[in-house]
Structure 1
Amino acid sequence: MALDLNATSGSLLESVCSGIKGAAVTHITINSTNLENIAVGSLQTKWSARGDRILRYYIDVRHKKLNLHKEVSAPEIFILQSRLDALIASWDDKYESYLKRQSLLSGQAAADELTTEATLRLESLSRILTHTTLVDDKIDWETLKDRSAYVYPKDFPEPRPSSSPAPQPKYAEPKVGFFQVILGKKAGILAEAEANHAAAMQQWKDAEDRRKVRLAHGVAQWEERRKAFWNEHKAKEDAFKAEQAASHALVDQLAAEVASGEEEAVIEHASLVLERSDYDGLFEKSYLLQYDRVRKLMKLAYDLPSIDVLPSTKAVKFVKATGELKESFISDRDRKANFESVAYQVCLRTIHELFEADEVGNIDAILFNGFVEFIEPASGLQKRSCLMSLLVDRESFCAIDLARVDPKACFKSLKGVSASSLASLAPIAPVMELDTEDRRFIEAREVGAALDQGTNLAAISWEDFEHLVREVFEKEFAARGGEVKVTQSSSDGGVDAIAFDPDPITGGKIVIQAKRYTRTVGVSAVRDLYGTIMNEGASRGILVSTADYGPDAYKFATGKPITLMNGANLLHMLERHGFQASIDLAAARLSAL
C-alpha cells in the first residue's frame, strides 16, 4: 500500500505540507504494508534568508504500534523519498516480526520457534561486519529517479446518454355494429378512428423528434465533458512528467556536484549511503556528518546502539503449569561482550561503506567518533559519551580484508582510541572533534549608544537594526546569564540572532528575527519564523518589526511558541534599557523613494 502526499503552489495542506509557500509541486509517497500504523507529520521546509528557495525538507514519521519515531530530512524531495523508503521498509520488517510473535499460540511449538528466532538474532550480531563485504555500497543514481508512468483512468466514469423511443401507436380498426352499418354510420366511425390514429401518430412523431433533439444535445454535452476529462488527465500527465524531469535533473545535479567535490553534496551522498545500510532493524541510525574539502576528510559522529537495545533473549520455554512462555537471557558478561563486538563492527562497517561508495575520490580519510547514550546509575541522569574514536586514511583501511579480521584487533591496529572495555561506558577524548560551533555567528556591533530621540529606526540600515535588536535583547537576557549572538546577514535560514537563555523553566534556544519594515507585516514572515524555530530546534521565536502585524499574522501565531513585537513594543524595550529613538514609517517610506 502507498500513501501519496502532495503539496502544490498556492495551497496549504495542514497535515502534509505546512509551511511550503509558493513551492513547486512536491510529491512524497509513503510505501508501507501497514499504512494504518504509520503516522506522518507535516512536511516542513527551511527557507533561505531572502525567502526565494527551499534549503531543506523535514518530515516527522512515527510507528504507532512499535513506538518508533524519526525526523527525516533532505535538501531535495527525491533524497527525502529515498530515505523514507529505507526507513519505512525497515519498520515494516520489524512490524512483521512483531506480528509473528503476537500471533504465536502458547505452547511448546511457539517456544521452540521463538527460541530459534532468538538464536538467529544473537548469531546475527557476529555478522554485522562480514555482511557489508557482500553488499555493493555504491549509489546507483538511476534508482533515485522515479520512472513510474502516469496512471490514466480506465475509462470516462460517466456513461454515454441514451434513450429509447416510446412505442409507436398502432391503428386498431373499430368494430362497427350491424345497426351502425344499416344506419350508414360505418364510414364515419372508420374516418374518426383513422383521424384519431393520425393525431396519435403526429403526437408520437413530435415527441420522438423532441427526444432525439434532447438526446443529441445530451450526447454533445457528454462528449464535451469526456473530452475535458481526458484533456485534464493529459495536462496532469504532462505536469507529472515535468515534475519527474525536474526531479531527475536534481538527481543528475547532485551526482555532478558529488563528482566535483561540493561539500554539501558529498555529505548528502554519504547520508544516502549510511541510510541504506541495512542492520536488520537492530537499531535506529543517528549520526552527524561534516566534510573538510581541502583535506578530503569526512568526519562522523555516530550514535552506537546501547547495551539495552541489543538482543539478549537466549531461549523461550513453555511452562505447562501456567501455560505461559518464559524467556531466559544471556549472561551480563555475554551482553557486554556483544555490545563491544557490535560497536567495533559498526565502526569498521561504516568506514568501509563510505570508502566503497566514494567512486570519485572525494574522501581520503575518515574520522569516526562513536557515541552512546545511557542512564548513569549513580545519578539517574541521561548521559552521552564518546566511547571510541578512529581516524584512518583510505590506503591503510582498504588494505584490510574485513571478512577475516577480528574487529577489536583491527580497530586497535589502525590506532583507534577506546577504553579497555567499552561496556564500562568510560568516555574517551576523541582523536579529533567535530566542529560544532555555529559558523553563522559574527562579531556583534554596538549601535545603541548612537541613538537619540531623532533616530528613526524605520530608516536606519538593516544591518544596524539587526545589531540593535541583538544589543537590546542581550541586555534583556543579561540578568539571567543569557547570551545573544548575531548571525551573518547573508546566511541561509533567516536567523538574525540566536539567544541562549539558561532559565530552566522559560529558557532554551530562542530564535530572534528582525524586520525593518515600513508596512504591515504579513503572515508569511510569521510562518517562516515558525519553520525556522522547528529547523533550529529552538524552544521559541521572537519576531521584531518596526511596523505592526496583520490579523492573519496574529492568528497564525496564536497557540505557537512565537512572540510578535511591533514598533511600539520595541521602543518600550529600548526605553527600559536607557535608549531613546523613534519610529516614523511614513518618513521612512518617503526617504526610500
Structure 2
Amino acid sequence: MHSNQNKVRYYQKNTSTWRVTFCAELSHIGLSEFKIFKDSDQTMLERKVTAQFQKWDEKWLKIQQSLSSQQFKEGNTKYAEEQTKEYQTLHQRIDNILIEAVDVDNTITWETIKDKKRFPEKNPFNEIHNELAKIKDPIKPSVKPIPKAPHKSNLKYQPIFTFSDKIFKSSKEKKILTAESVYKFDYHLWEKQKKSIEVDNKTAEDKYHEQLQVAKDRRVYIEENLLKEEQDWVKRKNDYLQSQIEFNAKIDVLKQNYLSKDAAATVEYCDMVLTNSEYPDLVKKDFDLEYNPKNSILIVDYVLPSSEDFPKVSEVRYIATKKELKEYAISEAQLAKVFDATMYNITLRTIHELYQADTINALEAIVFNGWINYINKATGKDESSCILSIQIKKSDFVEINLKNIDPKICFKNFKGVGSSKLYGITPIRPLLHIDKNDKRFVSSHDVAGLLDEGSNLATMPWEEFEHLIREIFAKEFSHNGGEVKVTQASRDGGVDAIAFDPDPIRGGKIVIQAKRYTNTVGVAAVRDLYGTVHNEGANKGILVTTSDYGPDAYEFVKSKPLTLINGANLLYLLEKHGHKARINIKEAREISNKQ
C-alpha cells in the first residue's frame, strides 16, 4: 500500500520495431518527482512502478521526520549539518556517475529476474482457532433453591391452649382458626415465592440456552465465512502462481530469443540493462532503443537531465541571530561545469553498461543521442533537442580505461558531436536517429461504404481492393486499440497492409497480403507470405483472397502463424461490419478476357 502522494498514469505506444511498449508516468506530489518507465511486459512494468513508489515513500517519510524534528528543535544546527551532508553526498554521486558504474556487472542474470516470491497472503482459514477462541460460551446460571413449604406440624401453626380455653370452647376454636389462618397465609406466600423462583430459574435457563445458541451460530458463521474466504484465497493464489508461471515463461522465451540475437529480444535485454542502472534521482532513465540486426547497431535516444533537475544547494547553515536556516547555492558557472561533465558521464556510462552486458556480441556499434527537454527562454515553450551524439564501435570502446579518462576529451576523441558548452543547449543533428515512421505507409481511404449487394469484389481494381482489406481489418482490430496501415502500391507480392494488435499475449505486428484472384491460390503464395513474416519481424501473417486456396496451401499453414481467408470468409467479415457485396469469379474472368 503506497501513500496518496504517489500518482501513476499507464498508457501504451508503438515503437519502430512494431513492439507494443507499456508505459507508466509516475509522480510524487510531495517530492515533486517524476519518472517514466517503459517495458514490453506489463508485469515487469508493474514491478518497476512498485519499487519506485517504495523508494519515494521511504524518502518522503524521512523528509517528514526531518521537518518534524526541525519544528520541534528550531535553531538546532544538527539539522543544517544533516542537510548539508545530504547535498554533499548527492553532489559527490553526480560527480561519480561514470566511475561508480565501471566495476558493476550489468549482465542480466535471467534467473534473478524471475518471480520466485511466495504468495504473500496467508490462508485466512488458518486463523479459525484464534477466531473461535474469541467467542466465549455463556456461564451456566446457578439454580435458585426453592425453600421448604410450611408444614402444619410446625409449632408456629399449633395453637397454644390455656386452661380457660378448655372451659370456653369459643376461645379454643378462635385460636384454632387463627393458627390455620397464619398457616394458609404463609403457605400462600411460599407458593408465590416458589412460583417467582421457578420463573427466574426458567428465565435464566432460557437466556443461557439462547446465548449458547448465539455462540454456536457465531462459530458456524465464522467457519463458513472463513471457508468462503479460503476459497477466494485459493483462487487468488492460483491466479498469482499462474501469472508467475507465465511471467517466468516469458523470461525463458526472452532469454532464448536474446541468445538467438532476435532483434526485439535484443532491444528488450538492453532496455533491462539500462533500467537496472542505479542513478541519482535527477536521471529519469527515459530512453528509446532501436536495434538493426543487419549491421548490429543499437541506437539509443536518451533523455538527459535538464539544468532544472540538478541540485542547486551546496550547504545549509543555521543563522542563530535570525533563528532561521539558510541555503547556499552553487554558482551558475559551477552548475554549467557540473552539467556538461554529467552529460558526458551519462553518455559514456550508458555505452559502457550496454557493451559490458553484451555477452553474446550482438552489438558491434552503439549510437547514443542525448536529448534535453527544456523551456526555450526565447519563446517560453517546451522543446526537446538533441545536444550530443556519438557512434562508437565495441572493439574501440573496450580498449579504453574509463577510470583514467577525461570524459569530454574521450567523447571528442571518438568524434562525438556536440557544442563546446552543452549547458547552452545548442541543438545538433543526431548521427543516426530512430525512425518512428515506416516510409512505406501511405494515407488510406474508405472503400467499404461504396459497396452494395451488386458489387463484385473479384472485379474491383486491385488498389481499391487493398484499401478495402485495410478498412475491414481496421474495424476488426479496433475493439482493442489495434490499427492497420496500408503500404505503397507495389504489386510485387510483398506487404499490402500492416496491422498492429496491442494484445500482450496474442498481438504484435501482423502482415496482411491481399490477393484479388480469380484462380485458386497456390502454396507458393503462402510460402512467400511466411518468408515476409520473418523478414518483417512480424508475429503473424494473413492472406486474403477473393477465390480460394489449394490443399497444399492449407497443409502448409498447419502449425505456422498464418491465417488464410478465402472469398466466403471475406464476405462474412464484410457483413459482420455492416457491408454487403458479392464475389462472382466467372463474371470476373469474362471481364478479364474481354480486356
TM-score range, shorter chain: 0.5 to 0.7
Q: Match of 2:93?
A: 124
Is 2:140 the counterpart of 1:162? no
Conserved in 1, the CA contact under 8 Å of 2:287 and 2:302? yes
Call closer, same or farther: CA 1:293–1:181 in 2, change over 3 Å: farther
Summarize deviations over 1:209-229 as a string: whole Å, max 9, x none: 976788767755654444444
Is 2:140 the counterpart of 1:147? no
Q: Which amino acid aligns with 1:443?
A: V
Q: Match of 1:284?
A: 284
Q: Which amino acid aligns with 1:172?
A: P
* C-alpha separation in 1, matches of 2:312 and 2:578: 73
* C-alpha separation in 2, matches of 1:173 and 1:244: 78
Q: Which amino acid aligns with 1:132?
A: A
What is the Cα deviation at residue 299 of structure 1?
Answer: 0.8
Match of 2:42 among 66, 77, 82: 77
What is the Cα deviation at residue 84 of structure 1?
Answer: 1.5
* C-alpha separation in 2, matches of 1:380 and 1:586: 48
Aligned pairs for 1:197-236 (under 5 A) are 223-236=223-236
Match of 1:135 among 104, 124, 149: 104
Is 2:418 the counterpart of 1:410? no
TM-score, with structure 1 as normaliser: 0.62
* C-alpha separation in 1, matches of 2:146 and 2:326: 93
Call closer, same or farther: CA 1:458–1:587 in 2, change over 3 Å: farther
Q: Which amino acid aligns with 1:330?
A: I
What is the Cα deviation at residue 130 of structure 1?
Answer: 0.5
* C-alpha separation in 2, matches of 1:174 and 1:458: 112
Is 2:503 the counterpart of 1:492? no
Q: Match of 1:178?
A: 155
Q: Match of 1:65?
A: 30
* C-alpha separation in 2, matches of 1:223 and 1:321: 68
Q: Match of 2:261?
A: 261
Conserved in 1, the CA contact under 8 Å of 2:108 and 2:273? yes
Q: Match of 1:365?
A: 365
Call closer, same or farther: CA 1:328–1:196 in 2, change over 3 Å: closer
Q: Which amino acid aligns with 1:492?
A: F
Q: Match of 1:338?
A: 338
Call closer, same or farther: CA 1:167–1:455 in 2, change over 3 Å: farther
* Of 81-90 and 460-469, the range deviating more from structure 2: 460-469
Conserved in 1, the CA contact under 8 Å of 2:5 and 2:30? yes
Q: How many residues align?
A: 453
- State the SS of the aligned residue for 1:362: coil
Summarize deviations over 1:174-200 as a string: whole Å, max 9, x none: 2324365789999xx89999x989998
What is the Cα deviation at residue 348 of structure 1?
Answer: 0.6
Summarize deviations over 1:420-467 as a string: whole Å, max 9, x none: 33233323332222223246x633566769948877799999954476
Aligned pairs for 1:87-126 (under 5 A) are 87-89=52-54, 91-92=56-57, 95=60, 98-99=63-64, 102=67, 104=70, 105-106=74-75, 110-126=79-95
- State the SS of the aligned residue for 1:396: helix
Conserved in 2, the CA contact under 8 Å of 1:78 and 1:251? no
Call closer, same or farther: CA 1:86–1:133 in 2, change over 3 Å: farther
Call closer, same or farther: CA 1:587–1:138 in 2, change over 3 Å: closer
* C-alpha separation in 1, matches of 2:66 and 2:434: 42
What is the Cα deviation at residue 264 of structure 1?
Answer: 2.4
* C-alpha separation in 2, matches of 1:119 and 1:150: 39
- State the SS of the aligned residue for 1:275: helix
* C-alpha separation in 2, matches of 1:100 and 1:215: 47
Aligned pairs for 1:417-456 (under 5 A) are 417-438=417-438, 442-444=441-443, 451=450
Q: Match of 2:302?
A: 302
Summarize deviations over 1:517-545 as a string: whole Å, max 9, x none: xxxxxxxxxxxxxxxxxxxxxxxxxxxxx
Conserved in 2, the CA contact under 8 Å of 1:372 and 1:385? yes
Q: Which amino acid aligns with 2:118?
A: S
Conserved in 2, the CA contact under 8 Å of 1:267 and 1:291? yes
* C-alpha separation in 2, matches of 1:171 and 1:450: 99
* C-alpha separation in 2, matches of 1:446 and 1:178: 123
* C-alpha separation in 2, matches of 1:201 and 1:324: 76
Call closer, same or farther: CA 1:169–1:490 in 2, change over 3 Å: farther
Summarize deviations over 1:288-329 as a string: whole Å, max 9, x none: 111112322211011222233223334445555544444443
- State the SS of the aligned residue for 1:340: helix
* C-alpha separation in 1, matches of 2:370 and 2:81: 37
Unpaired runs of at least 5, structure 2? 160-175, 474-483, 488-495, 504-573, 584-595
TM-score, with structure 2 as normaliser: 0.62
Q: Match of 1:354?
A: 354
Conserved in 2, the CA contact under 8 Å of 1:169 and 1:204? no
Conserved in 2, the CA contact under 8 Å of 1:138 and 1:356? yes
Q: Match of 1:391?
A: 391
Q: Which amino acid aligns with 2:435?
A: D
Conserved in 2, the CA contact under 8 Å of 1:106 and 1:318? yes
Conserved in 2, the CA contact under 8 Å of 1:107 and 1:325? no
* C-alpha separation in 1, matches of 2:222 and 2:58: 49
Conserved in 2, the CA contact under 8 Å of 1:372 and 1:387? yes
What is the Cα deviation at residue 81 of structure 1?
Answer: 2.7
Is 2:5 the counterpart of 1:37? yes
* Of 112-121 and 332-341, the range deviating more from structure 2: 112-121
Unpaired runs of at least 5, structure 1? 4-34, 48-53, 471-483, 496-582
Q: Which amino acid aligns with 1:178?
A: L
What is the Cα deviation at residue 390 of structure 1?
Answer: 1.5
Summarize deviations over 1:56-88 as a string: whole Å, max 9, x none: 544443211122334433232331133224533
Greater Cα radius of gyration, structure 1 or 2: 2
* C-alpha separation in 2, matches of 1:237 and 1:448: 50
Please, what is the CA RMSD of the aligned residues? 4.8
Summarize deviations over 1:243-285 as a string: whole Å, max 9, x none: 3223322333333332222322222222222222222213322
What is the Cα deviation at residue 404 of structure 1?
Answer: 1.7
* Of 127-136 and 327-336, the range deviating more from structure 2: 327-336
Call closer, same or farther: CA 1:208–1:432 in 2, change over 3 Å: closer
Call closer, same or farther: CA 1:287–1:446 in 2, change over 3 Å: closer
Conserved in 1, the CA contact under 8 Å of 2:99 and 2:403? yes
Conserved in 1, the CA contact under 8 Å of 2:36 and 2:284? no
Q: Which amino acid aligns with 1:384?
A: S
Call closer, same or farther: CA 1:294–1:86 in 2, change over 3 Å: farther
Conserved in 1, the CA contact under 8 Å of 2:442 and 2:486? yes
* C-alpha separation in 2, matches of 1:243 and 1:110: 47
Is 2:250 the counterpart of 1:245? no
* C-alpha separation in 2, matches of 1:111 and 1:587: 72
Conserved in 2, the CA contact under 8 Å of 1:83 and 1:272? no
* C-alpha separation in 2, matches of 1:91 and 1:584: 54
Q: Which amino acid aligns with 2:53?
A: I
Call closer, same or farther: CA 1:198–1:375 in 2, change over 3 Å: closer
Is 2:281 the counterpart of 1:274? no
* Of 392-401 and 226-235, the range deviating more from structure 2: 226-235
Call closer, same or farther: CA 1:143–1:217 in 2, change over 3 Å: same
What is the Cα deviation at residue 235 of structure 1?
Answer: 3.9
What is the Cα deviation at residue 346 of structure 1?
Answer: 0.5
Conserved in 2, the CA contact under 8 Å of 1:161 and 1:222? no
* C-alpha separation in 1, matches of 2:430 and 2:445: 38
Conserved in 1, the CA contact under 8 Å of 2:448 and 2:579? no
Call closer, same or farther: CA 1:341–1:196 in 2, change over 3 Å: closer
Q: Which amino acid aligns with 1:129?
A: L
Summarize deviations over 1:108-129 as a string: whole Å, max 9, x none: 5555544444444333332111
